[in-house]
Structure 1
Amino acid sequence: MTKKLGAILPDLSPLRSSREFRLLWVQGLVTNFGSFMAMIALPLQIKDLTGSPLAVGAMGAVELVPLVVFGLYGGALADAVDRRKVILLTEAGLGVLAAVLLVNALLPEPLLWPLYVVAAGVSALAGLQRPALDSLMARIVPHDQLTAAAALNAVRWQLGAIAGPALAGLVVAYAGHGTAYGVTILGFAVSVVLCLRLSPAPAAHDAEAPSLRGIVEGARYAWSRPVLLGTYAIDLAAMFFAFPNTVFPFLADDLDAEWALGLMYAAGSVGSVALSLTSGWTSRVRRHGLFVVFGAAGWGLAITAAGWFSNIWVVLVCLGLAGAGDMLSGLGRSTIWNQTIPEELRGRLAGIEVLSYSVGPQLGQIRAGAMAGWTGTRPAIWGGGLACLASVGVLAAVLPRLVTYDAETDEDALRRRAQKEAAKATAA
């Protein structure tokens, strides 16, 4: 019985083998909880001030350009400086922006424009931070534990994604937006203290200063690798066509279930956690490209069903299944990235990764908000889900190297494994 449970439950090896991974895991759990509180409170405040789905969707528009610019620059920066310093300074900056939201919420008549300014600032700092954070994982976790680390990071992220939205709806309803922003500030303060305990993560001795030429070099590498290109393209398509979160407040109104808004935001995370907590088997899989394709297709199918059905409980189940599909796809993407990208390009490719899994939802917010204004909320959701299914099928057909990816035979994966083993032998 114990052996059977061990085959299903998450592999905890990264937590046991790496102090740095343990610190980052706890830090991420704390900051994610606070971030999700603000992530839900902010669009709710825009909705309360404007009553417009397009105004809520416009938040994605103001976040898009900073994310693109600073995500790419953050990737080059992560290859050139101490990644620990980047993580620490950006966490502190995010805490300052949360304080701006709190001050604005406490005004007798809160202003609308600071909400968009802060959203853009958060996007810029997240773009700077994520390449440093993501590229650090491949350095501090053993090569054969990367899938397990991705699953554990997903558990951490989704715990915040469940508790944050579920509590944010209640906190905003009964204590106001300011209280939600106050919790966010507290989370970032604790996170900064934990980041101070991380060991330095300096760049390589021959690392070049961040430059446009370096960014282009990373982009050329990604473009030359069909497997990487497929992970980026499928995730972008899935999120652009089938990311409905921005219209959840209006879907709750349509279904006469305003009480379920927090559950809608949390349902996808529940599905993701359910898959993560039964992810022990994924450490034994080598065909991670199939994770990407089948997971994204499952996401699109479940979002289609969520937009079609009118029973709130069925909708919540569909959103949970969508989260499980997204989690499966995410495990495949993260593993392929960490298994194949060389260390000297890891930061710049992590910057491109930020664009692939962040720009898609931002564009998806714009699409969902605009389409909901034209066709209604539910058609905007199920129509996007169908478009997601079609696009995943087309991309899988034109990028067969992704579907056939095997960690035991792929040349880039074997080269990256040898690189890590050589670095470990040198350090010893």
Structure 2
Amino acid sequence: MKHFEIYSIDLHNSTTIFKLTNNSLFETQLTLSKDGKHIIFRQYSHGDNQKDFVDLQGRLNSLDLITGHIERLAKDFSGNVFGYTYNSDGSVYILGQLRTEVHIYTQQSSMDSTIHCHGWNGTYHLISSSPFGRTRAVAFVYSSLEKPKEVYIADDIYQLQSANAITNENNLFTQRDLPKTKVYTWKNDQDNQAIEGILHYPPGKFELKKLPLFILIHGGPHSASLNAFEANWYNWASIAAVEGWLVLEPNYSGSTGYGDQFVNEIRFHTLSRRTRDIMSAVDNLIKDGIVDPNKLNVGGYSYGGTLTNWLITQTTRFNAALSGSSAIERVLSCGTIDLPVLINYLMGGFPWEVPKSYQNQSAIYSLDRIRTPTHIVTAEGDVRVDAQQSYILERGLRSLGVPVQLLVFPKEGHDLENDPWHGKIKVREELKWLAKYGHGLKQNIS
């Protein structure tokens, strides 16, 4: 991270490189202002060791090329900056996430307040405006859980609800009976913290009772499940719902869009505290009569898979578990992850500094408690979560007599982006595992 900085280069003399920043930010999406005096950029987080690293939500900054001063834009916005576009008049249009929504906000200058541009509920994924100021029109990509992505044009940023679609690439989905959704809210029964998530109902079963439940946990952990249309190997809640499952996507504490304090509540208790967020949701869904208490299932990818591993060491209530690219031992994570500063910060230090923290938040030391049939997915070349973690989990469960299946994708990394068939195979096999064990057909394990 010490060398993750913004630089400039003289195109007439490519050997001359100037370092413009000297900090611990993850800078991305750089835009040069029209007058050439500022660089606008997004940041992910900051800090170069476990003592000063603070993994906050996405920010938008402006770098003064004359003084070197960095100023935060949209200081009054409490959510996660998802993206932005810089306008010819010096203002910015900001894609800001609050809770499950990503809307458009404007800010004329760093001294001004951000203004919410009222549009449709859902997620504005990308936005663009004319760099020359010849038109006030804006183009954007938009979707919601029940409306697939398309590109739209609005005559003015304040006329978003009158925007017209200029593409029709996903019309096929509008002809299908898609799952209906709603936001579901509950409280952690230990600290009374309000948590929310998205419920995806099987087509034709909106708000019916006693449905089989599949909890799909997002990764990150600093991410969130959104009011956005997705149907892929990672965001596949709608696919599972079409197969008859009521799917809950929980935005547990640590998720973005709920304020910095909510994001950082995950520190020191990366798994144990999240357990109560998830299990409180289960208890409330049962209490409300929404789910069948005998048909509970859980899964996730990356951090979602890691939390799944932990959950099935804490309870035997789940019939089936889906563990994708997950960690089972935190010391191994510290030594192999491509972003070690994140692990060190979340755990409170290095393994030799806080060994109990690493042990207390590693599922491997409670593996003998697992009774849940578990499907495991990993990628051969994963540098975010080493495949050895999945090998350890599979070997441990097999030795314990727990039904387990390991699926390894060759020549793939964490994002499964090298072969599109791999994502299809992943979801297909996970659905088969849910169908086999998810309805309460799991074997008795002594």
Judge same fold: TM > 0.5, yes or no. no
TM-score normalised by L of structure 2: 0.25
Structure holding more helix per residue = 1
TM-score normalised by L of structure 1: 0.25
Give the structure, 1 or 2, with the largest relative contact order (CA under 8 Å, sep 6 or more).
1
Larger Rg: 2
